[in-house]
Amino acid sequence: MGSVALHRVILTPEKAVILDNAAVIADLHLGFENVMQEKGVAIPRMQVREIIANVRNIVDRYGVDRIVVAGDLKHEFSRNLPYEWEDVREFVESVDVELEVVRGNHDNYLAAILAEYGIELKEYVRIGDYYVVHGHRDVEFDRIIMGHEHPAIKVRVRGGVYSYPCYLVVDDLNIVLPAFSPLMGGSDVLQNTFLSPVLNKAGKIEVYAVEDEVVYLGSLEDIQRVV
């Protein structure tokens, strides 16, 4: 309930897509609190527990037997911070189904942690007709599921700003995931400024907002005309 089916892919309110008995999530950014702590900003260390609970809910609710992380499992670029070692280990050990991890631009040293569990850090994972990538590099695949962009839509109503994570469906074939991390605020798609080369060469972009359900808002071009 609350999901949207596009061909064989299901966009869920849990910020995961379901395809061929696999769930794909992206941009967990484990260890983010440690990075902020080093910058002098104290954030309660709670993200990993919420992420684990949400993944378990996805496995139970949708009956998947495979979790694919589409990049940025951890946050720090330059090394593995103490929280990242601990949180990635806790996350991996909590996943009771097959786990595959795609390399994101934040995952430079992640392989050292995953090696403890015999998990390969991959450049892409194939599920049916789709290729799961992170999205920070251009690819030539016909159909992709990607992260990296952290898409959100920000709407101003009566002086207030409301932000909703969202899925993007690009040229009817490619799917961009919202960030799975509860600490990532999201990049406003209405600004029409994208990080990914995949999106920068896109034609049609359709927006599906996520709240308690997935709601189709229309094409990005049409939304920009009325806001």
Domain parsing of the chain, residue ranges: 4-226
Q: Would you state the pLDDT for residue 225?
A: 87
Q: Name the average pLDDT for the chain.
A: 94
Q: Would you state the pLDDT for residue 212?
A: 92
Q: Would you state the pLDDT for residue 1?
A: 63
The torsion region of residue 218 among left (phi > 0), alpha (psi -120 to 50) and beta comes to left
Model confidence pLDDT, tens digit, residues 84-131? 999 999 999 999 999 999 999 999 999 999 999 999 999 999 999 999
> Residue 226's closest CA among 152, 151, 171, 155?
155
Question: Is the four-CA dihedral 62, 25, 100, 48 of positive or negative sign?
Answer: negative
Model confidence pLDDT, tens digit, residues 47-63? 999 999 999 999 999 99
Question: Rounded to an integer, what distance in angstroms lies between the CA atom of residue 204 and that of residue 184?
Answer: 25
pTM: 0.94
> Residue 104's closest CA among 172, 48, 30?
30
Model confidence pLDDT, tens digit, residues 14-46? 999 999 999 999 999 999 999 898 889 988 888
What CATH number does domain 4-226 carry, 1.10.260, 3.60.21, 2.60.40, 2.40.30? 3.60.21
